[in-house]
Amino acid sequence: FLYFPETHGISFRIQISVKELLDTDVLLKLLFHLPINYPSTLPDISVNSDQLTRAQCMDVKDKLLEQAKKHLSEPMVHDLILWVQQHLQDVIKQSATVCNEKTTLSKGTEGGIWMILLHLDHMRAKAKYVKTVEKWASNLRLTGRLMFMGKIILILLQGDRSSIKEYLVLQKTSKVDVDSSGKKCKEKMMSVLCETEVQSQHKRFQTFEIKEYSTLEELQKEFETAGLTTLFSEFVPPLFK
């Protein structure tokens, strides 16, 4: 929409969809406010998106204002929109690493290492799905295991709490698998079995690995080695019933 109050310049909203990592689209809502003496004054910009964290939206906004300064005194909105479509991926990648560094430094309420155990119902396009999960874990610096045992698929992740939250968003909003007709689809059959802070008796996973187990005992050993016996006995056996 557009409105033209005589004294305040122009405000308008633009929604754009940007092709993002792993073929998911990010819907960006940009609000531009052009002051009366635009373009010799910078516009006000606000950025919103359901697929990005608030920190990432702020980073996109900062980068857009940096670009705007380069175009001062010439109409720039169109250029800024083109710029964000081309560079969103880089901004988000940088944002993720900066984010993680900040959170490691400030051990505030979000401090401490968190752990989450997820159960997936199935993977039709297994190779692609596994690759995607590996990529997310490495981008977000999460360690743990993707575990296959018979029909059971579990993902155990450890890392920064904000990174785990971000992982969940990716897992729910990205087209990670294919449906029965081979079309790309989102993960609808995932359940979070447990989310908790890593305690001193839990061992930290150093890497993220994909493992297949042929028996329940083998799977149980993996959990026991990591000091997660209680987690295993509480959440895993019920899945086999």
Which range of residues forms the domain containing residue 162? 113-239
Distance between alpha carbon 83 and the CA centroid of its chain, in Å?
22
The domain total for the chain is 2
CATH (domain of 42): 3.10.110.10
Q: Residue 21 has what pLDDT? A: 56
Torsion of CA 175, 179, 183, 189, to 10 degrees: -20
Q: Is residue 43 part of a domain?
A: yes
Q: Is residue 84 part of a domain?
A: yes
Q: Distance between CA 220 and CA 225 in Å, rounded?
A: 9
Q: Are residues 82 and 135 in the same domain?
A: no
Q: Identify the domain boundary among 96, 131, 159.
A: 96
Question: Mean pLDDT per segment of 10 residues, for the chain of length 241 residues?
Answer: 58 80 76 87 89 85 93 90 88 62 40 85 88 93 94 93 90 84 82 82 87 94 90 86 72
pTM for the model stands at: 0.54
148 near 119, Cβ under 8 Å?
no
At residue 23, φ and ψ (nearest 5 deg) are 65, 10
CATH (domain of 145): 3.30.70.100
Q: Is residue 24 part of a domain?
A: yes
96 near 139, Cβ under 8 Å?
yes
Residue (of 35, 40, 29) closest to 7 by Cα position: 35
Q: Is residue 4 part of a domain?
A: no
Q: Are residues 62 and 124 in the same domain?
A: no
